[in-house]
């Protein structure tokens, strides 16, 4: 039972593998994947309160890991529904596409449970390599081969980040002689402020900075977001980030109370750079996905605000924020995937008059964008508010003021998308038709974004107790 | 919780907040434009009617917050759902519930496309606005304060005039940029006191430097909302492009939130900073009065004229507040209500003409007195009220503000006097065009019954406040006295602290 979600995904990927052997089973593969995602959310919910170790203590099931598994599975359901027609991927590779998506999901699910360096590395690579393959699978109507460029960039930067991370791991092993996180903690505490340990932790983190797209590990973001098909981007932009935050929290807890100023300073600098870089670059974007990519960089900076407080509340806030980010981001991607007619990229201008063409999608876009911008009563506001409170409590006044300024900068580009959708006329653009499932997912996302923003009490309590299980 | 008189039994304030929201939700499923209009009218009217017990049940002998409600919301951060009203917010709550049905009536035929969405926005606005005036928890306040941006943005951006995109974006960005530092200040206050409760933040001995920083953050947010010169540039754009109901809400209620913020937060939470920086703000108010007056004098667009006149009128309000005496503050609060009634009425008048002539230019309405006697009678009375003609409401408010001003600082008070003359000049210019000049417009019809019904209640209040302001003033005496007491006590405590060798 402990291993149920993983087993399910593993069996599922075998089934999908068999499907890839035949031809033209795109629809079947999609349904299998959807069933898997739904079942995996139910299973992770059922195993929420279980605890236990597996595989010689290299793999740990606890509230922390199961919460993340649940959030990721729910996200996967939404991704599968919003990309249901998979307009951007050729029919003959669709079963493979779903196979890799489930494999990547399996990697992420394993990642949040790994408490041993090598297990962790394998899980991360399983998820990354499947993603690397999903990017170039976009169908190439125009012959520009942007998806190939995106794929190459993704894999090269990814390999670089992985190498740095491995280098950091080797330092950690060299310093402590163990690869188990539990055993690492006491050994690292003694030497936490030594330069080597700092370097080791910093290098170790880069792998996850890369996944989360923190400056300066963000270089893949704009091109991959733009080059990958809409549904792929929706996946890349949301679910792996949850895994990255989970692991960053784990790594930070390794050194949490004793970490010298150095790690905090490093996180602060990265946070400020990410926020400014992301927001300022997003201001001039015309492609909605690219814009969301840059906005994602700035949100990654915000998440770091919770990490650098180095206390349980801060970590819990980061969890809350990234979970909220998952839903806000997916709300925007629902609109992108549905507005795009044959899987092409959506420019900001393509959203013109959306409130006449598809009122529900326009509302989803409004809620998603405003939530990302941090306008109450949505989850984005509550998350930002609590992150700022935590950071100010930890005494980082300058950082908080800079972050607040960033909120003001960011509003402009989110608002310009909303403006196009609500204030301009549709001209010649056709109405957008949405099916029942999309309608359901849109409404569900709106409700979740509002409820999480208005009533964060329960979610925060769960997140806090989840964080306490790993401290 | 000794600052709050809990409400036993029916939770009136929560009902007022959530009734429009529930109405908006039901409205989503109602078919037919007329049904939607009638439903919105019904919801806003019921809200207005059930808000009357607030006045009749109000205990004007205590400065505590009344009709209080308190619920734990986010215990991890000590955030609570706390509501309550005192003599300062009571009239503003009533003004809000009273103006909203008139907004619905005023946009009955003005809004022809997407009626349902328009009415939903109006109702959500009402919820947020009422909440802002009732909230006694800073996070609750901030959430509602910001939540107002989206429906207001849509009101201007979707149903606005030709330059609606520019105006709505400017409105949104200006207001949001101003409020960002407010959030930081709120968090800083929380870290000092450990609570987000507004009354508990008052009267704490923060250091003067801390108070000045917090005050500046408050001031930026509220001065933009008022708007004070030189932060006013979003206002004419937003007013001109907004649909009638949007302009009325902006002028009557949204602007009041800035001055309400000064009274509720700046004075009691940061009294030392208020005393230190007050004189500068007084001069800024004088600048706003004169600037607003002169600019209004040069406008040919009626909405712009009224918008700039708002800058001047709100200058009188901030002037009254920062003189920190009873006459000044009470005059300022009364003037907030007056401005809501009068300017709201003027915007409704302009909207009614715009429906007929599709123009807001003065010269397109020259001499319409010959053809539209009823309309022009209304317009004349509201214009006279706007220039503070004796026996109208604004006279009482402005008189009290100036009386308070002269008792403290004759130079500043004297500098504000030309503002009153300018007000007469620009309103007279408007009346001159409409009444006397030009050939008239035989092609347009006079007001119909619905429009007369919309304007009559406002007319009634113009004279009621003008002739017998006591019922309005009596509810605020105790609260204003206690507010000024707080400022003086902080001053005394600070002086005493400095006397210690």
The pLDDT tens digits along chain A (471 residues) read 777 888 888 888 888 888 888 776 777 888 888 888 888 888 888 887 878 888 888 888 888 888 898 999 999 998 888 877 777 777 777 888 888 889 999 999 889 888 888 888 999 999 999 888 888 888 776 767 788 888 888 899 989 999 999 999 998 888 888 888 888 878 877 777 788 888 888 888 888 898 888 888 888 888 888 888 888 889 998 899 999 999 888 888 877 666 667 788 888 899 999 999 999 999 888 888 899 999 999 999 999 998 888 888 889 999 999 999 999 999 999 888 888 877 788 888 888 888 888 888 889 999 999 999 988 889 989 999 999 988 888 888 888 889 988 988 888 899 888 888 888 877 777 778 888 888 888 999 999 999 988 888 888 888 888 888 887
Measured between CA atoms, how close is B145 to chain A, in angstroms?
9
* Token code pair at residue A119: 């297990």
* Token code pair at residue A295: 């906005």
Measured between CA atoms, how close is A411 to chain B, in angstroms?
7
Question: Stretch B301-320: mean pLDDT, rounded?
Answer: 90
d(CA A369, CA A414): 6
Burial of A28 (0-12, 13-18, 19+ CB in 10 A): middle
Measured between CA atoms, how close is B407 to chain A, in angstroms?
41
Q: In angstroms, what CA-CA distances link A27 with A34, A195, A429, A433?
A: 11, 54, 29, 20
Q: Which of B79, B124, B143, B163 to probe by mutation at the A interface, max A CB count within 10 Å?
A: B143
- Chain-wide mean pLDDT for chain B? 88
A140 vs B327, which has greater pLDDT?
A: B327
Q: Put residue B51 in one of left, alpha, beta given phi > 0 → left and psi -120 to 50 → alpha.
A: alpha
Is the separation of the CB atoms in A308 and A400 below 8 Å? Answer: no
Measured between CA atoms, how close is B144 to chain A, in angstroms?
7
Residue A2 is predicted with a pLDDT of: 73
Mind spelling out the 3-state secondary structure of B314-330?
A: HHHHHHHHHCCCHHHHH
Strands A52-54 and A59-61: antiparallel
Inform me whether the C-beta atom of residue B157 falls under 8 Å from chain A C-beta atoms: yes
Q: Which of A375, A391, A398, A460 to probe by mutation at the B interface, max B CB count within 10 Å?
A: A375
Contacts of B158 in chain A (CB under 8 A): 355, 422-423
Task: List the single residue in B74, B143, B168 with the smallest CB-CB distance to A376.
Answer: B143
Q: In angstroms, what CA-CA distances link A360 with A110, A273, A340, A356, A438?
A: 36, 36, 16, 10, 10
Peptide bond into B230 cis (omega under 30): yes
Share of chain B above pLDDT 70, in %: 99
CA-closest candidate to residue A400, choices B491, B216, B187, B62: B187
Contacts of B71 in chain A (CB under 8 A): none
Residue A260 is predicted with a pLDDT of: 66
CB contact under 8 A, A376 and B147: yes
Indicate the pLDDT class of residue B1, thresholds 50, 70 and 90: low
Is the separation of the CB atoms in B162 and B146 below 8 Å? Answer: no
Burial of A347 (0-12, 13-18, 19+ CB in 10 A): middle
Residue B501 is predicted with a pLDDT of: 61
Is the separation of the CB atoms in B314 and B339 below 8 Å? Answer: yes
Taking 90 as the threshold, does the pLDDT of residue B132 lie above it? yes
d(CA A29, CA A58): 32
Q: How many CA within 13 A on the CB side of residue B444?
A: 25
Task: List the single residue in B144, B157, B188 with the smallest CB-CB distance to A422.
Answer: B157
Least confident of A427-436, B127-136, B377-386, B412-421: A427-436
Residue A258 is predicted with a pLDDT of: 66
Find the helix packing angle between B87-106 and B33-56, rounded to 10°. Answer: 160
Q: Which residues pair with A335 in a beta bridge?
A: none
Is the separation of the CB atoms in B189 and B138 below 8 Å? Answer: yes
Burial of B477 (0-12, 13-18, 19+ CB in 10 A): middle
CA-closest candidate to residue A371, choices A361, A383, A387, A362: A383
Share of chain B above pLDDT 90, in %: 29
* CA dihedral for B342, B348, B352, B355, sign (positive or negative): positive
Q: Which residues pair with A52 in a beta bridge?
A: A61
CB contact under 8 A, A401 and B184: yes
Taking 80 as the threshold, does the pLDDT of residue B75 lie above it? yes
Give me the interface pTM, i.e. the ipTM.
0.88
Task: List the single residue in A393, A422, A460 with the smallest CB-CB distance to B76.
Answer: A460
With vertex at residue B334, the alpha carbon angle to CA B332 and CA B339, rounded to the nearest 5 degrees, is 90
CB B59: neighbour CB atoms within 10 A? 12
Taking 70 as the threshold, does the pLDDT of residue B29 lie above it? yes
Residue B382 is predicted with a pLDDT of: 92
Contacts of A416 in chain B (CB under 8 A): 169
Is the separation of the CB atoms in B472 and B337 below 8 Å? Answer: yes
Is the separation of the CB atoms in A97 and A134 below 8 Å? Answer: yes
* Token code pair at residue A5: 């979600």
B316 vs B363, which has greater pLDDT?
A: B316
Chain centre distance of CA A438: 21
Question: What's the pTM value of the predicted model, to 2 decimals?
Answer: 0.91
d(CA B402, CA B330): 11
- Tally C-beta pairs within 8 A across A and B: 82
d(CA A302, CA A338): 29
d(CA B321, CA B259): 8
Measured between CA atoms, how close is B191 to chain A, in angstroms?
7
* CA dihedral for B146, B151, B152, B153, sign (positive or negative): positive
Contacts of A386 in chain B (CB under 8 A): 77
3-state secondary structure of B260: helix
d(CA B265, CA B220): 13
d(CA A13, CA A4): 14
With vertex at residue A127, the alpha carbon angle to CA A124 and CA A130, rounded to the nearest 5 degrees, is 140
Is the separation of the CB atoms in A57 and A182 below 8 Å? Answer: yes
Inform me whether the C-beta atom of residue B185 falls under 8 Å from chain A C-beta atoms: no
Nearest chain A alpha carbon to B145 = A376
d(CA B162, CA B359): 12
d(CA B313, CA A182): 67
Q: In angstroms, what CA-CA distances link B79 with A386, A453, B187, B205?
A: 11, 13, 12, 22
Task: List the single residue in B73, B154, B184 with the smallest CB-CB distance to A422.
Answer: B154
Inform me whether the C-beta atom of residue B283 falls under 8 Å from chain A C-beta atoms: no
d(CA A385, CA A383): 5
- Give A113-116's long-range contacts (Cβ < 8 A, gap of 24+): A113/A6, A113/A59, A113/A60, A113/A61, A113/A65, A113/A69, A114/A58, A114/A59, A114/A60, A115/A57, A115/A58, A115/A59, A115/A60, A115/A180, A115/A181, A115/A182, A115/A250, A116/A57, A116/A58, A116/A59, A116/A179, A116/A180, A116/A181
Spatial CB neighbours of B15, under 8 Å, sequence gap ≥ 6: B50
Residue A331 is predicted with a pLDDT of: 92
Residue B300 is predicted with a pLDDT of: 87
CA-closest candidate to residue B39, choices B110, B154, B119, B102: B119
CB B371: neighbour CB atoms within 10 A? 15
């Amino acid at each position: 039972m402990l291993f149920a979600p993983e087993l399910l995904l593993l069996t599922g990927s075998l089934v999908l593998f068999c499907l890839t052997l035949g031809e033209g089973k795109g629809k079947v593969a999609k349904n299998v994947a959807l069933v898997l995602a739904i079942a995996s959310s139910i299973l992770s919910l059922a195993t929420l309160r279980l605890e236990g170790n597996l595989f010689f203590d290299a793999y740990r099931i606890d509230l922390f890991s199961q919460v993340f598994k649940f959030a990721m599975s729910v996200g996967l359901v939404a991704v599968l529904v919003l990309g249901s027609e998979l307009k951007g991927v050729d029919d003959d590779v669709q079963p493979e596409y779903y196979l890799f998506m489930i494999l990547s999901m399996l990697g992420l699910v394993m990642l949040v449970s790994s408490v041993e360096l090598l297990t962790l590395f394998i899980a991360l690579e399983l998820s990354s390599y499947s993603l690397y393959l999903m990017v170039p699978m976009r169908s190439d109507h125009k012959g520009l081969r942007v998806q190939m460029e995106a794929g190459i960039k993704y894999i090269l930067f990814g390999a670089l980040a992985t190498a740095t991370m491995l280098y950091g791991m080797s330092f950690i092993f060299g310093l402590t002689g163990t690869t188990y996180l539990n055993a690492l903690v006491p050994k690292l505490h003694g030497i936490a402020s030594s330069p080597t340990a700092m370097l080791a932790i910093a290098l170790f983190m880069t792998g996850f900075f890369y996944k989360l797209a923190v400056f300066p590990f963000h270089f893949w973001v704009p091109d991959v977001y733009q080059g990958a098909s809409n549904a792929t981007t929706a996946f890349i932009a949301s679910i792996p980030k949850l895994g990255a935050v989970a692991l960053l929290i784990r790594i930070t807890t390794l050194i949490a109370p004793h970490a010298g100023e150095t790690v905090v300073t490093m996180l602060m600098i990265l946070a400020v750079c990410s926020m400014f870089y992301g927001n300022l670059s997003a201001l001039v974007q015309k492609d909605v996905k690219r814009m969301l990519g840059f906005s994602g960089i700035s949100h990654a900076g915000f998440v770091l605000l919770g990490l650098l407080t180095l206390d349980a509340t801060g970590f819990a806030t980061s969890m809350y924020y990234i979970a909220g980010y998952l839903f806000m981001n997916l709300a925007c991607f629902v609109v992108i995937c549905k507005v795009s007619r044959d899987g092409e990229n959506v420019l900001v201008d393509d959203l013109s008059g959306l409130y006449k063409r598809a009122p529900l999608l326009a509302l989803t876009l409004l809620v998603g964008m405003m939530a990302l911008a941090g306008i109450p009563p949505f989850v984005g506001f509550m998350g930002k508010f609590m992150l700022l409170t935590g950071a100010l409590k930890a005494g980082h006044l300058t950082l908080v003021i800079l972050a607040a300024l960033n909120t003001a900068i960011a509003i402009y580009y989110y608002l310009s998308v909303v403006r196009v959708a609500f204030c301009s006329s549709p001209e010649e653009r056709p109405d957008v038709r949405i099916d029942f499932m999309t309608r359901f997912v849109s409404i569900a996302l709106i409700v979740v974004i509002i409820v999480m923003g208005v009533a964060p009490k329960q979610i925060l309590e769960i997140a806090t107790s989840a964080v306490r299980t790993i401290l | 919780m000794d600052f709050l008189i809990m409400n036993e039994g029916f939770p009136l304030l929560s009902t007022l907040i959530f009734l429009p929201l529930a109405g908006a939700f039901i409205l989503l499923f109602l078919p037919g434009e007329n049904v939607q209009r009638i439903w919105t009218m019904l919801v806003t009217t019921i809200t207005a009617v059930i808000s009357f017990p607030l006045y009749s049940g109000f205990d004007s002998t205590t400065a505590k917050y009344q009709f209080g409600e308190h619920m734990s919301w986010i215990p991890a951060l000590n955030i609570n759902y706390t509501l309550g009203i005192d003599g300062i917010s009571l009239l503003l709550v009533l003004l809000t519930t009273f103006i909203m049905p008139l907004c619905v009536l005023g946009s009955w035929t003005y809004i022809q496309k997407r009626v349902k969405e328009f009415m939903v926005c109006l109702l959500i606005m009402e919820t947020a606005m009422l909440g802002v005036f009732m909230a006694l928890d800073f996070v609750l306040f901030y959430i509602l304060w910001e939540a107002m941006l989206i429906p207001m943005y849509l009101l201007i951006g979707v149903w606005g005039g030709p330059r609606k995109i520019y105006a709505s974006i400017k409105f949104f960005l200006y207001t949001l940029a101003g409020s960002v530092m407010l959030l930081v200040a709120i968090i800083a206050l929380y870290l000092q006191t450990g609570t987000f409760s507004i009354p508990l933040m008052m009267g704490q001995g923060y250091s003067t430097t801390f108070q000045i920083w917090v005050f500046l953050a408050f001031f930026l947010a509220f001065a933009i909302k008022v708007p004070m010169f030189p932060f006013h540039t979003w206002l004419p754009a937003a007013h001109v492009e907004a649909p009638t109901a949007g302009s009325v809400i902006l002028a009557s209620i949204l602007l009041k939130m800035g001055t309400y913020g000064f009274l509720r937060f700046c004075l009691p939470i940061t009294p030392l900073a208020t005393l230190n920086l007050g004189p500068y703000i007084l001069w800024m108010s004088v600048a706003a009065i004169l600037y607003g007056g002169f600019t209004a004098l040069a406008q040919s667009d009626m909405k712009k004229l009224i918008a700039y006149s708002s800058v001047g009128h709100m200058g009188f309000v901030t002037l009254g507040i920062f003189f920190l005496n009873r006459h000044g503050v009470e005059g300022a609060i009364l003037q907030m209500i007056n401005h809501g009634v009068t300017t709201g009425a003027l915007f409704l008048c302009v909207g009614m003409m715009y429906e007929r002539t599709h123009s807001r230019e003065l010269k397109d309405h020259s001499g319409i007195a010959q053809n539209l006697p009823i309309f022009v009678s209304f317009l004349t009375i509201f214009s006279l009220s706007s220039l503070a003609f004796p026996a109208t409401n604004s006279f009482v408010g402005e008189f009290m503000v100036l009386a308070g001003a002269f008792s403290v600082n004759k130079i500043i008070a004297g500098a504000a006097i030309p503002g009153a003359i300018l007000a007469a000049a620009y309103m007279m210019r408007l009346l001159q065009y409409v009444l006397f000049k030009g050939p008239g417009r035989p092609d347009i019809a006079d007001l119909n019954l619905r429009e007369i019904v919309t304007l009559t209640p406002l007319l009634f209040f113009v004279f009621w406040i003008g002739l017998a302001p006591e019922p309005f003033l009596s509810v605020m005496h105790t609260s204003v006295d206690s507010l000024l007491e707080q400022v003086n006590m902080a001053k005394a405590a600070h002086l005493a602290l400095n006397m210690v060798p």
